[in-house]
Structure formats: C-alpha cells, structure tokens
Amino acid sequence: MSFTVAIIGRPNVGKSTLFNRLVGRKLALVDDQPGVTRDRRRHAGKLYDLRFDVIDTAGLEDAAANSLEERMRAQTETAIREADLVLFMVDSRAGLMPDDRTFAEVVRRTGKPVVLVANKAESRGAQSGALEAWELGLGEPIPFSAEHGEGLVDLRHAIVEAI
C-alpha cells in the first residue's frame, strides 16, 4: 500500500527532526528558532516495514497570506489535502499552547485520520505534557522522541491502525 503522511504542528515541536528520521537523511533544516522550514517538503520515507511519502511543513512561512492564523491554516490545509494521514505533533515539554489548539481544530475539520504524537517526551518531566495532549480531542497521544528515536514502534502501530 502506498500512502502519504503529513507532519503537522506549530513551529519548533520537532516536525523536521521526525521528517529527517523517516526519510533517513537530513533534508530538512532543524533549528531552535521557530519557523526555519521555508516550504513544504515531500520525500519517500519509511518506518520499519512501512513505506510512505512524508510531507514536512513550516506552518508559518507562507508569505502570501496575511495573519498568522491564515498562514498556518493555508500551509496546513494544503499539506493535509495531499495526505492520507495526518501526524499531528505537540511538544510535551512545553505543554499545550494556543497554536496547538488552532492547528488541531484545522486538522479535525478535515476529517482525515490523525495520529497524535507527543514529542520531546524523553525526559521524565514531559509526562504531564504528553497527557495534556488528550485535551486536543485527537485520540491517544503517543509519547515520543524524534531526536532520540523513542516511540517508533508505537508510532508504527498507530499508523497501521489509522490508515
């Protein structure tokens, strides 16, 4: 089966880090500064035996739109349209932010299958942040670490269930 996964979430949650891990190359720039991904990026990726296309998004960089929210919406909606499955990422260390809820609402409205990933969960302190992600109403958050490669088996399982 061939399908496309779009990684969606507010800036700095770790989308590009996961994108690079799935495609097996450092194609997307990872940075502490929010908004370093200039445009959408699509590439063939894999997770164990699963092969699929992955789309990385910036979320904020679409200069054609006006307000912050419009820009997020435009980028996010385009990526979601192209995707069979949305991988929605939050930062479990930072906890839920208003932008997470905005993105989650956009995702929910599309009706696409969603897998919720609570990234940066490698530290103990991230537990409550990961649990907080239940509030988004997108199902069970998967505690995850894109940087350290933790939660990959659970992610594979969730993708298979959702697709």
- Contacting positions for ligand GDP (CB under 6 A): 9, 11-17, 30-32, 36-37, 119-120, 122, 145-148
- Shortest CA distance to 94 belongs to which of 52, 136, 126? 126
Q: Is the dihedral of CA 29, 34, 40, 45 positive or negative?
A: positive
**Residue 11 annotated as part of some ligand binding site:** yes
For residue 16, state whether it binds Mg ion (rule: CB under 5 A): yes
**Residue 143 annotated as part of some ligand binding site:** no
Q: How far is the CB of 56 from Mg ion (least distance, A)?
A: 6
Among 14, 18, 22, 37, binds Mg ion (CB under 5 A): 37
Which does residue 122 bind out of Mg ion, ligand GDP, none, counting CB within 5 to 8 angstroms by kind? ligand GDP
CA distance 108 to 144: 21
Q: How far is the CB of 139 from ligand GDP (least distance, A)?
A: 20
Q: 25 in helix, strand or coil?
A: coil
Q: How far is the CB of 50 from ligand GDP (least distance, A)?
A: 20
| Cα separation values, 71 from 102, 109, 125, 146, 155, Å | 12, 17, 32, 25, 28
Q: 57 in helix, strand or coil?
A: coil
| Cα separation values, 49 from 53, 57, 92, Å | 13, 24, 27
Q: Between 41 and 113, whose beta carbon lies closer to ligand GDP?
A: 41
Q: How far is the CB of 111 from Mg ion (least distance, A)?
A: 25
Q: Between 35 and 137, whose beta carbon lies closer to Mg ion?
A: 35
Q: Where do we find the tokens 């929010």?
A: 34
Residues that bind Mg ion (CB under 5 A): 15-16, 37
Binding residues for GTP, by number, are: 9-16, 56-60, 119-122
